[in-house]
Amino acid sequence: METSDFKELFNYNHTVRQNYIDVFKKTLSWEDMVKNHETGWLSLKDTLLHIIWVEDSWINYSIQGLEDPNRPFPY
């Protein structure tokens, strides 16, 4: 991937994440945010933290051609 690809993905993720946060703040309690919803990342809070971690990994590792030592995936 080229740096411009990461920038496009980052901008998209940032916009979507902010839209979700805005809606969650208006409609959900903190208890709903941390409740285990039996999804891949369990809670909505954990899902948002995962998205932020991915963006951090892009910025600090992938764009520089490095492997993130904390990446739990085999690719």
Q: What does DSSP assign to residue 42? A: B
pLDDT number for residue 4: 80
pLDDT number for residue 72: 66
Residues 63 and 7: beta-carbon distance below 8 Å: no
As a whole number of angstroms, the distance between CA 2 and CA 56 comes to 16
Instruction: Identify the burial level of 33 via C-beta atoms within 10 angstroms of its C-beta, where 0-12 means exposed, 13-18 middle and 19 or more buried.
Output: middle
Q: What is the mean pLDDT of each run of 10 residues along the chain (75 residues)?
A: 78 89 94 88 87 82 77 58
As a whole number of angstroms, the distance between CA 34 and CA 23 comes to 15
Residue 39: beta bridge partners? 42
